[in-house]
């Protein structure tokens, strides 16, 4: 009976000693810097990307072409969200594919405009994505038709309007300038666009809009701007 009572007390005392006793150094060797430890850890789990083979390249091309076809079919059927998802997968396979980037720019632009009233936050994000893919497209290619260049100018202007709605003045100014450089020349829209009304009342932003107007007029007079149909 006495032994039974002693064991719980002994165990409790042993555990208390383990918990309360501060850890003792086991070696005089200093600990490795955190950066070295992290580097060693990553070296153990990160492996080099294997080189591409004709077989893997052919598989990637086949997957990309399949996604591209399905995306166009989805868009024709009115499902732009599915089309965009398929194209975003395709662009991971080839970040410079001309048709994939062009369609992503177009579909994201269209979807953003459709969601402006229903879901302004998502519409803003989609418009920024459209502008981002447009810049990737123009960095990788330059063989665009007049119709495509007109679309690019409109995408950039709509991106500027999205920044205006969010009151992001610096981003707005940059996108507006890019739109004009791309050939945007719709003076009537620049002067009446509701998204820009708050900027017309701001001295600094009003000056930027007036400068944009002068640039467009100069381009039209010199014949360098595109003509709206």
Give the predicted TM-score (pTM) of the model. 0.75
Give residue 48's pLDDT: 66
pLDDT at 13 over 70: no
pLDDT digits (tens, 9 = 90+) for 76-85: 999 999 999 9
Residue 138 within a domain: yes
Residue 25 within a domain: no
Q: Is there a contact between 82 and 127 (Cβ–Cβ < 8 Å)?
A: no
- 122 and 156 assigned to the same domain: no
Q: What is the CA radius of gyration of the chain?
A: 30
Number of domains in the chain: 2
**Last residue in a domain, options 82, 110, 143:** 143
Q: How many CA atoms within 13 Å lie on the side-chain side of 91?
A: 24
Mean pLDDT in residue range 127-140: 98
DSSP collapsed to 3 states, the chain:
CHHHHHHHHHHHHHHHHHHHCCCCCCCCCCCCCHHHHHHHHHHHHCCCCCCCCHHHHHHHHHHHHHHHHHHHHHHHCCCHHHHHHHHHHHHHHCCCCHHHHHHHHHHHHHHHHHHCCCCHHHHHHHHHHHHHHHHHHHHHCCCCCHHHHHHHHHHHHHHHHHHHHCCCHHHHHHHHHHHHHCCCCCHHHHHHCHHHHHHHCCHHHHHHHHHHHHHHHHHHHHCCCCCCC
Give residue 44's pLDDT: 52
Give residue 158's pLDDT: 98
pLDDT at 47 over 60: no
Q: Is there a contact between 143 and 113 (Cβ–Cβ < 8 Å)?
A: no
- 137 and 154 assigned to the same domain: no
Q: What percent of the chain has pLDDT over 90?
A: 72
Q: What range does the domain containing 227 cover?
A: 145-229
């Amino acid at each position: 009976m006495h032994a039974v009572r002693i064991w719980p007390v002994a165990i409790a005392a042993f555990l208390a000693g383990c918990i309360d006793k501060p850890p003792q150094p086991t070696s005089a060797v200093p600990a490795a810097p955190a950066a070295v430890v992290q580097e060693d850890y990553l070296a153990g789990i990160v492996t080099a990307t294997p080189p591409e083979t004709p077989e893997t390249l052919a598989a990637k091309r086949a997957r990309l072409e399949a996604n591209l076809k399905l995306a166009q079919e989805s868009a024709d059927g009115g499902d732009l969200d599915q089309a965009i998802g398929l194209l975003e997968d395709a662009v991971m396979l080839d970040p410079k594919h001309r048709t994939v980037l062009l369609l992503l720019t177009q579909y994201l632009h269209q979807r953003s405009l459709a969601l402006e009233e229903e879901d302004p936050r998502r519409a803003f994000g989609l418009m920024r994505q459209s502008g981002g893919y447009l810049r990737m497209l123009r960095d990788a290619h330059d063989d665009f038709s007049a119709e495509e260049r007109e679309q690019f100018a409109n995408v950039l202007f709509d991106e500027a309007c999205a920044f205006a709605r969010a009151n992001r003045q610096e981003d707005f100014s940059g996108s507006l300038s890019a739109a004009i450089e791309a050939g945007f020349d719709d003076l009537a829209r620049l002067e009446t666009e509701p998204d820009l009304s708050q900027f017309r009342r701001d001295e600094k932003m009003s000056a930027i809009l007036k400068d944009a107007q002068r640039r467009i007029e100069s381009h039209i007079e010199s014949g360098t701007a595109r003509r709206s149909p």
